[in-house]
Chains A and B, each alone.
Chain A
Amino acid sequence: RKEVEQDPGPFNVPEGATVAFNCTYSNSASQSFFWYRQDCRKEPKLLMSVYSSGNEDGRFTAQLNRASQYISLLIRDSKLSDSATYLCAVRFMNRDDKIIFGKGTRLHILP
Chain B
Amino acid sequence: DAEITQSPRHKITETGRQVTLACHQTWNHNNMFWYRQDLGHGLRLIHYSYGVQDTNKGEVSDGYSVSRSNTEDLPLTLESAASSQTSVYFCASSPGPSGAQYFGPGTRLLVL
Contacts and interface: CB of A to CB of B under 8 A. Distances in A.
Interface of A: 31-32, 34, 41-46, 49, 87, 89, 91, 96-99, 101-104
B81 to A, nearest CB: 22
B43 A87 contact: yes
B98 A31 contact: yes
7 contacts: A32-B100, A46-B102, A91-B98, A96-B56, A99-B94, A102-B42, A103-B41
B42 A43 contact: no
Given A49-B100, A96-B56, A101-B43, 9 more contacts: A31-B98, A42-B105, A43-B104, A46-B101, A46-B102, A97-B97, A98-B58, A103-B41, A103-B42
Interface string B85-105: 000101000100110111111
Nearest to B104: A43
A25 to B, nearest CB: 14
B100 A34 contact: yes
A42 B100 contact: no
A98 B99 CA distance: 11
Given A101-B42, A102-B42, A103-B41, A45 B103 contact: yes
A97 B106 CA distance: 23
B98 A98 contact: no
B45 interface: yes
A87 B56 CA distance: 24
A104 B97 contact: no
Nearest to A91: B98
B48 interface: yes
Contacts of A49: 100
